[in-house]
Amino acid sequence: MSDRELLPGLDVSRETYSRLKDYEKLLFKWNSKINLVSKSTLSDFWGRHILDSAQFFSLFGEKTGKWVDLGSGGGFPGLVVAILSDELGIPNRLSLVEADVRKSVFLKTVCRELGLKVDVYNNRIEELPKMSADVLSARALAPLKTLCFYAEKHLKKDILFIENSFEENVKEKLQSLSNNQIALYENTRFHDGEEKNDQDLAMKVAQNADYFVNDALSVSHRSHVSTVGIAKCLPSFSGRYLEKEVLMINKSLSTNSGERLGIIGGSKISTKLKVLENLTENVDKLFVGGGMANTFLLAKGFKIGKSLCERSMINTANNILLNAERNNCEIDLHFDALVAKDME
């Protein structure tokens, strides 16, 4: 068995891959008794859970220190971080916090069977002593405001949470920041003008900053205030993680050796139109999945019933299919389907 590449630049040995597979087996076994993760995510276990957790490690894992994972549940990202830390010999001190007794027993069982040196706390987060963490992680745990409250207590660095990015006293709050203190704004999606790329909102958000750094490739195709609007108001740069992803994409698309394969999913063609057009011109085969596949299937004359579909994009889907044919790009759609009354 060859080494497995989880993420660009992150290779694991056969032993670590085997450890991750053992973790998977334990989780599947326990998940039938207690709800560690949603059953609907098990079919994409490696993508939804292992790879997603590995991203945390690729960002922070090589910084030696104390890592505290709040609301660990099935062990994501904490257990994956512990396994990958062992792989590279990084002496991270991992602490997993889980209030549910049964889930805590599961976490301790995994640590024992995989030989992981991890502390598991069966406590409510509110009752924890101060943890003084270098890295604090939480996955689908609580709203940002609540997470900031936890961070203020348990993270070494001070966190200043700003609920409204253009309230009158924001400037005074920012000026009061000490060195190494972090200010965190509430999610801009809670503002009405975010998805409309309202320039007045963009100017209000930008007025208290000197620079804008975008490190989120997954939303960069959206013309929103937090991606496009604010970039017009401030000197703007890509973050190192976004840069790495773009370089990997360019490397994949520019290679002349072998057949080039593209894989794209999601629910909407409308939000990925330019990406689809670009891929059909630069890859030899394109696998289309998710809800957008239904739009292509309907465009090709297949019956899709009440399945998710953008019926207003049928003509666009046909144009993409024609463009792919002109560029000798084969678009692969799954024609098999499972019909069920429920997903349990």
pLDDT tens digits, 254-265: 877 778 889 998
Give the full edge-to-edge strand order of the sheet including 261-264: 261-264, 285-288, 330-332
Contacts (Cβ under 8 Å, ≥6 apart) of 289: 263, 264, 265, 334
| Residue position matching structure tokens 């666009």 | 316
Beta strands in the chain (DSSP E): 4-7, 10-12, 66-70, 93-97, 118-121, 135-138, 159-162, 182-185, 212-214, 236-238, 261-264, 285-288, 330-332
Q: Supply the DSSP symbol for 300.
A: T
The Cα–Cα gap between 85 and 293 comes to: 38
CATH number attached to the domain at 1-141: 3.40.50.150
Question: Do residues 92 and 82 make contact, with C-beta atoms less than 8 angstroms apart?
Answer: yes
Q: Binning pLDDT at 50, 70 and 90, where does residue 331 land?
A: very high
SS3 call for 10: strand
Provide CATH 3.40.50.1260 ranges for the chain: 256-332
CATH number attached to the domain at 256-332: 3.40.50.1260
Q: Assess whether pLDDT exceeds 50 at residue 124.
A: yes
Provide CATH 3.40.50.150 ranges for the chain: 1-141
Section 264-268 average pLDDT: 85
Q: Assess whether pLDDT exceeds 80 at residue 59.
A: no
How many other C-beta atoms lie within 10 A of the C-beta of residue 272? 18
Section 296-313 average pLDDT: 89
Q: Binning pLDDT at 50, 70 and 90, where does residue 68 land?
A: very high
Section 323-336 average pLDDT: 89
